[in-house]
Structure 1
């Protein structure tokens, strides 16, 4: 099979779909890998390294024309004309992007999304490494924008002796939320975490030995926590569906002037009312007197780390698709969960329901 790896075109994106180790593994199995020239440069991977691993360096048309296209981010508007009837393996987040869903159906692309590949225990093995990175980055980004020169309240996340640290509220105790909590605790902040799952809260409480506050997530509890926060991190995920708006505009307005919110869920539409996708070049928007950071590809800020983390997670699945094609969906239930579009229609139930709701069909 020919595997194509185009350069990413989303603003600020630095990652590449396959690192040299992935290229080498595919070529060793008898597959051909066609990488768009320059695709790895921003992840610290030069063309020579990819060529030495066995890749052919090609233009964008040839990379997109492969049997299996491996990317990082969803196709951008300028790439929709390149979609075809082959397989596409990437992050898609279709619940928040009806236009892309329609384009994939029209092109009869078999589209497999990293974020819905799901194991029997419910975990998301391909989303997890990027969620870990986004969770850690969310605290660093929030701490940066809390500084006065960047419009924040002028609060130091960890405080100093005699002065308490910033009050950090994390909504969601999944992979991203857990990493945000760990980062904030490590930096000395005063941390509260909310989730609808008591077992998840118990795990975090045990992990941090009583150094955090935990609260069951209700509208009342979220409003109370946000009102007293310096930094709010929204890390809510419903796989395949749009993120629920758990932080309302009224809650944002209740924060002290210069408060910061980070919306990790922006790829799925966002969990903070008023947040819109932003870029690394222009990452925050003012919502009332608060700042909302909602970069839609947060891990691209650490493209070297993120590329290696993503490739080590996706490579086993890329190999299965390359070896077996669509038959891999029958052999691997986790991959089957990843299929969002096939034969011109949306086949993932949660994605179909979410898009139907957006269009008023549900």
Structure 2
């Protein structure tokens, strides 16, 4: 029976988000739960300790006190230094991305914890807790892509009088891909959307989100990537590792100084040359192409991202605290009592 909820401060590199804003904490308090907020947990997103105290939260002096709660709610997956807080009677609710984090999965299994993941919670055919951060990440992709193009090939996304605009290829036209395409189109780039869903491509073209569409295949991606100035990878398979759709040979064919932004990197990346980066060191160059593969992209905009995530999470959090078997939590339970119970996650990490 959950009586207390803990909200630790995020410690991943460059992560300034917080899982619950003061409004969400107030909802939890009104629902009858004690909420323990680690001191300064919300400062990076613009929320003070006083803001949380004002809605009935109790400020915890350190992470240990917040992790002592019955249910811990976070943004990002627990970092290795937090694994020592795991215990059998604890429930965890956060982004986990276990397909790309086998060591974390083992630590969760070994501890006997019940771990619920935002990114696998399904509702009406969608992923309601992934969507808000996918939107922020997608919008960010166009911004960072434009920034690093300036440092690389020197191409301006929108071109100029007498100079053609940049060519952008977005692979995967879900929420993140659509937002990336819209952002690039908003800067007057030529944008090609690639997806396996022809109806999704039709809608993107009709709405003007893209200037061209391609049905996904290795040959089509190869040709599109070769001529691209900016490639945004946004392919997703719920709970599984992202499929490698852009191969090393494709990247090798790209123009020097072009840019790749792999938004699928949380799930292992959909581009063969991608490897995780951080906000401290966001890029690297391989085969003459700049790669941006930050694993917590929305952390750059912590206030917007925290408020968007919090609004989506709090109704599910209250349901989880009251009844972990609530049908509105379908798909979110990844690990329970020493077993990986989500079949796709289990297959992805070979257990």
Q: Provide TM-score, normalisation by structure 2.
A: 0.97
1:169: which partner in 2? Answer: 169
User: Which of the numbers 78, 88, 106 marks the counterpart of 1:75?
Assistant: 78
Matches within 5 A, 1:34-73: 34-58=36-60, 59-73=62-76
1:10: which partner in 2? Answer: 12
User: Which of the numbers 136, 140, 144 marks the counterpart of 2:139?
Assistant: 136
Instruction: Give, in whole Å, the separation in 1 of the partners of 2:237 and 2:31.
Output: 36
Instruction: Give, in whole Å, the separation in 1 of the partners of 2:255 and 2:345.
Output: 37
1:178: which partner in 2? Answer: 178
Q: For the Cα contact (< 8 Å) 1:2–1:67, is it kept in 2? A: yes
Instruction: Give, in whole Å, the separation in 2 of the partners of 1:321 and 1:350.
Output: 21
- Deviation for aligned residue 1:141: 0.5
- Deviation for aligned residue 1:98: 0.8
- Deviation for aligned residue 1:323: 2.4
User: Which of the numbers 106, 109, 112 marks the counterpart of 1:108?
Assistant: 112
2:23: which partner in 1? Answer: 21
2:300: which partner in 1? Answer: 301
Instruction: Give, in whole Å, the separation in 2 of the partners of 1:128 and 1:17.
Output: 15
- Deviation for aligned residue 1:203: 1.1
- Deviation for aligned residue 1:191: 0.6
1:97: which partner in 2? Answer: 101
1:183-204 deviation line (CA, Å, top 9, x unaligned): 1111100111100110110110
Matches within 5 A, 1:132-211: 132-147=135-150, 150=151, 152-208=152-208
Q: For the Cα contact (< 8 Å) 1:165–1:190, is it kept in 2? A: yes
1:322: which partner in 2? Answer: 321
- Deviation for aligned residue 1:43: 0.6
User: Which of the numbers 336, 340, 346 marks the counterpart of 2:340?
Assistant: 346
- Deviation for aligned residue 1:276: 1.0
SS in 1 for 2:35: strand
Task: Kindly report structure 1 stretches of 4+ aligned residues shifted beyond 2 Å.
Answer: none
SS in 1 for 2:177: helix
Instruction: Give, in whole Å, the separation in 2 of the partners of 1:170 and 1:215.
Output: 10
1:286-312 deviation line (CA, Å, top 9, x unaligned): 111000000000000000000000000
2:280: which partner in 1? Answer: 281
Instruction: Give, in whole Å, the separation in 2 of the partners of 1:174 and 1:336.
Output: 20
- Deviation for aligned residue 1:84: 1.5
Alignment pair present for 1:30 and 2:32: yes
- Deviation for aligned residue 1:73: 0.2
Alignment pair present for 1:122 and 2:125: yes
1:160-179 deviation line (CA, Å, top 9, x unaligned): 12211110000001111111
Instruction: Give, in whole Å, the separation in 2 of the partners of 1:46 and 1:192.
Output: 43
Instruction: Give, in whole Å, the separation in 2 of the partners of 1:179 and 1:108.
Output: 38
Instruction: Give, in whole Å, the separation in 1 of the partners of 2:37 and 2:166.
Output: 45
- Deviation for aligned residue 1:53: 1.2
Instruction: Give, in whole Å, the separation in 2 of the partners of 1:323 and 1:172.
Output: 36
- The count of aligned residue pairs is 347
Q: For the Cα contact (< 8 Å) 1:5–1:33, is it kept in 2? A: yes
Q: Provide TM-score, normalisation by structure 1.
A: 0.94
* C-alpha RMSD over aligned residues: 1.0
- Deviation for aligned residue 1:322: 2.0
User: Gaps spanning 5+ residues in structure 2: where?
Assistant: none
Instruction: Give, in whole Å, the separation in 1 of the partners of 2:84 and 2:185.
Output: 46
Instruction: Give, in whole Å, the separation in 2 of the partners of 1:42 and 1:26.
Output: 21
Instruction: Give, in whole Å, the separation in 2 of the partners of 1:114 and 1:70.
Output: 10
Q: For the Cα contact (< 8 Å) 1:65–1:84, is it kept in 2? A: no
